[in-house]
Chains A and B, each alone.
Chain A
Amino acid sequence: MSTPARKSRKVTAMTTMTPASAAPVDPADSTADWSAVCPLDVLPVEHGRAALLPDGSAVALFRLHTGEVYAVGNLDPFSGAPVICHGIVGDRDGVPVVTGPLGKEVFELATGRCLDDETARLPVHDVRLTGRVIEVSARRNTVETLVG
């Protein structure tokens, strides 16, 4: 896989979506706390895995066939169970999604938005590759920060 993984989510994209939250966010994001979680190659394509972050929370990591890597919160907001990483990855109208394995609710990987319930959302984490190692941002863009 030579295509470099790119950030799953750009801060600019977020500010476009929710201007209200733009002010407190530094677009340069230089203070983000990055954690190296695993080499890219141990992540199977379109088969999620969970990774533990230093604060004890977990993200679900997904590597797509295009090479993109996404990280979203691993807790299923509907059941409260840490299972999002076990969801099936696919697309809705070409947009990458994961389906919650317990209730089959569909979430957009890039935004965390739930397509079945607009009040639910997965937190999303920025992802970058350093060498062949996946690094995940500790910053979680929660509903609270998005909607103020």
Chain B
Amino acid sequence: MTIPQHSEAPRKLVVVGHGMVGHRLVEALDSRDAERQWEVTVLAEEGRPAYDRVALSSCFDGADESALRLPEHDPERIDLRLGDPVRALDREADAVLTASGERVRYDALVLATGSRPFVPPLPGSTAPGCLVYRTLDDIDAIRTAAEESTTGRGVVVGGGLLGLEAANALRLLGLTTHVVEMAPHLMAVQLDEGGGALLGRMVGELDVALHTGTGTKQVVTDPETGAATGVELTDGTFLETDLVVFAAGVRPRDELAREAGLQVGERGGVVVDETCRSVTDPHVWAVGEVACVEGRTLGLVAPGYAMAETVADRLLGGEARFPGADTATQLKLLGVGVASFGDAHATTPGALEVVLNDPVAATYGKLVVSDDAKTLLGGILVGDTSGYPLLRPLVGSALPADPSALLAPQSEGGGATGAGVAGLPDAAQICSCHAVTKGELTEAITGQGCADVPALKSCTKAGTGCGSCVPALKQLLEAAGVEQSTALCEHFDHARAELFEIVAATGITTFSQLVAEHGRGRGCDVCKPAVAAILASRDSGTHILDGERGGLQDTNDRHLANMQRNGTYSVVPRVPGGEITPARLIVLGEVARDFGLYTKITGGQRIDLLGARLEELPAIWRRLTDAGFESGHAYGKAVRTVKSCVGSTWCRYGVQDSVGLAIELELRYRGLRAPHKLKAGVSGCARECAEARSKDFGIIATEQGWNLYVGGNGGFTPRHAELLASDLDHDTLVRTIDRFLMFYIRTADRLQRTAAWLENLEGGLDHLRAVIMDDSLGICAELDAAMERHVADYRDEWRGVLEDPEKLARFTSFVNAPGTPDPAISFAVEREQPVPVPGPVSLGMPEVPAAEGARAR
């Protein structure tokens, strides 16, 4: 059968299953089906739309369900019916029957039903307390069982990929965790004995007890309740437990296909051809784990995605073929990097294995090469997997260097020695999540002018999946001659972090000296504020308007107030933690009234007074400082607010004093200058009313202490903060935040928020954790000392201005008429408050040239 093109009426596509692969199919089809050839109905069993099943265990590591959700389909175009699974296929009539009794006709049917966990038929294996690990519902069941567990111990049957994920979940739930694996080592499918042994050792260090080379004999149950009370292993070991998770493999959910007479494979799965179309019925396709392609089913998401793309293309009349299963995997299991690709087990006749096993550094690497040692066939990496993005695309190609050199510890830049991505053939796949080849990336760089990683990401989607290929993208840009300049501006060849180190090493305290000795020219609006901030970060004792520093400051810092569109300023006093006495609140109201200021509550739990003229600022601040207010640094690349909920003091749900902690932190870090603004939040319980996870650092109370999240962002690119550490006591929490902030200040780029900084940090969250919690760089003492200096040297900046006539002199309208209000500033009234006159102010003066052009900008 051929699929007719551009038929008049749209044809009906029915997709059975809304897992990751079903979701991808719908997205791929919808994004390409510009002419609306297909009307799509998705029939799903689960009550939830598709979510990232691969990241399930992150649910136990601070992520909530919404973080796992995959992008929503356009409801206008995709008819997504949740909780209504298909019960039968009627191939005669080209229709499916759903559980709710509906009959849905199709022109094409795609089975994306996935697979089910395999529970071995052992005595007791279906007893209460025996669970599986596949869906969010399973996760909920495991969580409940863990909370109710009386043994405090959980046993995972299966030491493969899924089993270790499940083990991590149990561990994060606070259970003593055991893993039982029949094979002699963990992850027997992906790893060899050496790699498996290292993984086992590293997992063992996390207090996960391993029982390898032994099977599970039975689940022992309580004769009265029938619930699980323990697991007996074939080696005679008995483990007392009331929670058993079976993660011993999956089986394709091909029952619909079987009953409808479609051919299924020997070990299950709908048999499909290289276009993923059923060999029995040309109207039926199968993708993902339920498809039996090349004689086997595949339990990984990447080949599933490839199938989805193939079918989407075929449905639109394309010629795509399933490219063959790439079973390469790179993942982190219990914090241990594991990668396996190509012929990892050296099954190719004559294959040679080159192994680098370093138990001290806890890394294991193996490359499998052809008998002439010229072609890479596959490999295994455990511990350090940074070579994976470069090695995997080399499979089947000539080795660019000696195999042992390729396995050698990574060079500083993060690229495998000698194995530059530049040496790869154009057909080599760089991004396996989105199947982007080197050739496509090169075309994006040279043909479409992508000049940096973000441009490449949005143009090709490469690097937007697991992100492991981002280093390779950087190398491709470099190889293409795209200069990845880190120079701050035309006056300095250095990046901000390098300038910070120069200032730290030389002790230079002025911009003039720095630009004379390490730069050129007289600076500009880019380098001057950046250097001013570096100087201020290192020396909180010197006022930011002292001497020549005043002239370095950007628009807002220059007058310690935020310049508004009409040239007036806003005033935001600090209200630590958002807690304010009625008396102080009245002072704010009185000041606003007396100076005729527009008043608004900010998002950071304080009060913004807008419309102050430059020459009014000192008088306003004299009133405010007299009442005990300090600068709120709303104008600075500095710590802004630490937002809080009312916490355990008042709230029925609060478990810790979030207000007290927020005030303490805000006072500790007030005035700290940084590469960009810093916002924080403290929530008194998991309900998270302070929205702490949208902050640069957010703290959420637990029964045991505090969870610390970092790198969150609202604004232009929202991002949830990631869990850095759990259940910290007060002192450890403060010390960790101290170091986080100082490490950020030291290494971030100009105007780089913590979210972007963390995303670009080599090694990401793990590296950050290593640096500031395990002191892997040996700099923690420096970071601590820097923060102690800041805390000791802090002085209110506005008080500093009021006490210094020279600084005060700059807060005047005109050098020759200090008290005269600028006649170019005027106000309108809106809802009883003063506001700027809308639009560019037209003053009828001839010296406002090209106003039309200006407005058009």
Contacts and interface: CB of A to CB of B under 8 A. Distances in A.
A94 interface: yes
B849 A44 contact: no
B5 to A, nearest CB: 50
Given A81-B565, A117-B854, A120-B853, A142 B490 contact: no
B808 to A, nearest CB: 13
A73 B854 CA distance: 16
B370 interface: no
A89 interface: yes
Interface stretch (A3-11, A13-21, A26-34, A56-64): A56-64
A78 B857 contact: yes
Contacts of A142: 846-847, 849
Contacts of A83: 563, 567
A121 B563 CA distance: 22
Interface stretch (B678-686, B693-701, B813-821): B813-821
Given A44-B550, A65-B522, A102-B563, A38 B850 contact: no
A50 B820 CA distance: 11
Given A88-B552, A91-B522, A58 B849 contact: no
Contacts of B850: 77, 117, 119-121, 143
Interface string A62-90: 00110000000111111111110011111
Given A46-B551, A75-B824, A117-B854, A92 B525 contact: no
B555 interface: yes
Nearest to B813: A50
Given A45-B551, A47-B550, A94-B521, A75 B843 contact: yes
A78 B566 CA distance: 11
A58 B824 contact: yes
Contact of B521 (A37, A90, A140): A90
A81 B815 contact: no
Nearest to B529: A88
Contacts of B521: 90-91, 93-94
A88 B554 CA distance: 7
Contacts of B565: 79, 81, 102
Contacts of A79: 565-567, 840-841
B551 A47 contact: yes
Given A80-B840, A81-B567, A101-B555, A42 B825 contact: no
Interface in A109-148: 117, 119-123, 140, 142-144
B739 interface: no
A142 B845 CA distance: 10
Chain B interface residue bracket vs A = 35 or more
Contacts of B853: 117, 119-120
B857 A99 contact: no
B813 A81 contact: no
B524 A99 contact: yes
B842 interface: yes
Contacts of A43: 815
A50 B822 contact: yes
B110 to A, nearest CB: 52
A77 B697 CA distance: 40
Contacts of A44: 550-551, 810
Interface in B543-558: 548, 550-552, 554-555, 558
A141 B256 CA distance: 83
Contacts of A122: 847
A128 B845 CA distance: 25
Contact of B548 (A46, A51, A140): A46
A56 B847 contact: no
B823 interface: yes
Contacts of B551: 44-47, 88-89
Nearest to A82: B824
B490 to A, nearest CB: 7
A57 B847 contact: yes
A127 to B, nearest CB: 13
A78 B852 CA distance: 10
Among A83, A122, A142, max chain B CB count under 10 A is at A83
Contacts of B857: 78, 103, 117
A80 B841 contact: yes
Contacts of A90: 491, 521-525, 527-528
Contacts of B527: 90
Contact of B816 (A37, A64, A65, A94): A37
B815 A50 contact: yes
B574 interface: no
Contacts of A91: 491, 521-524
Given A58-B822, A120-B853, A80 B563 contact: no
A122 B817 CA distance: 22
A44 B548 CA distance: 8
Contact of B849 (A61, A104, A144): A144
B357 to A, nearest CB: 55
Contact of A86 (B558, B815, B820): B558
Contact of A75 (B525, B809, B810, B845): B845
Among B491, B810, B824, B841, max chain A CB count under 10 A is at B824
B643 interface: no
Contacts of B524: 88, 90-92, 97, 99, 106
A93 B814 CA distance: 31
A25 interface: no
A122 B522 CA distance: 21
B528 A88 contact: yes
A52 B816 CA distance: 7
B586 interface: no
B848 interface: yes
Nearest to A90: B524
B504 interface: no
B851 interface: yes
A138 to B, nearest CB: 12
Interface string B561-573: 0010111000000
Interface in B797-851: 809-810, 813-817, 820, 822-825, 839-843, 845-851
Closest 9 CB pairs of A and B: A80-B841, A81-B567, A47-B551, A143-B849, A90-B524, A119-B853, A80-B840, A99-B525, A101-B555
Interface of A: 37-38, 42-47, 49-52, 56-58, 61, 64-65, 73-83, 86-94, 96-97, 99, 101-104, 106, 117, 119-123, 140, 142-144
Given A57-B847, A86-B558, A143-B849, 11 more contacts: A44-B550, A44-B551, A73-B847, A77-B848, A77-B851, A81-B825, A82-B825, A90-B524, A91-B523, A92-B524, A140-B846
